Amino acid sequence: MDTLKKRSEFLAVAKGGRLGRRAFVVQGLMRDSDDAPRVGYTVTKKTGNSVMRSRIKRRLRAAVSELAPADIPQKADFVLVARDSALTLPFQKLVADLKSGLHQVLDPSTPRGRGKPRRPARQAETTPRRKQG
């Protein structure tokens, strides 16, 4: 599977769907071209030192390579944003989460939310405050 390399490609995929899993967050976006699906990997410095980040990327690459071509939606780009648990989660569960997440992230009925809905902001007072002095 081809990989995303340019920042602009990662930013474009970030505007698509988003779905949280135990070991990573999947971002996905459908494309118009008939090229093969592409995947990008993001591991932030919050996850650990360079050794840990490299191990996480290798595990995610191996999980993607385990998928059959029928398991990967065509005409789409994906970004996997890794979490700390990508190192400790059993490999078969990692592959299963990835397999289910790739199709689900492209489904328009899947909410794109980021956790709990926010409460509406408080409205400003209608009467101006007096200056104290």
Q: What does pTM read for this prediction?
A: 0.79
**Residue 56 is assigned to a structural domain of this protein:** yes
Q: Which of 106, 31, 88, 91 is nearest to 61 (CA)?
A: 91
**Residue 92 is assigned to a structural domain of this protein:** yes
State the total domains in the chain: 1
- Note the residue count of the chain: 133
Region of poorest pLDDT, from 78-82, 85-89, 102-106, 116-120: 116-120
Q: Say what the pLDDT of residue 1 is.
A: 79
**Residue 94 is assigned to a structural domain of this protein:** yes
Encoding tokens for residue 110?
A: 């899947």
**Residue 112 is assigned to a structural domain of this protein:** no
**Residue 115 is assigned to a structural domain of this protein:** no
For the cut 80, the answer to whether the pLDDT of residue 129 exceeds it is no
**Residue 34 is assigned to a structural domain of this protein:** yes
**Residue 29 is assigned to a structural domain of this protein:** yes
CATH number at residue 66: 3.30.230.10
**Residue 49 is assigned to a structural domain of this protein:** yes
Measure the CA angle with vertex 37, ends 33 and 39; round to 5°: 130
* Residues of the domain holding 58: 2-106
3-state SS record for the chain = CEECCCHHHHHHHHCCEEEECCCEEEEEEECCCCCCCEEEEECCHHHCCHHHHHHHHHHHHHHHHHCCHHHCCCCEEEEEEECHHHCCCCHHHHHHHHHHHHHHHHCCCCCCCCCCCCCCCCCCCCCCCCCCC
- Residue written as tokens 């390399």? 5
pLDDT band at 108 (very low <50, low <70, confident <90, very high): confident
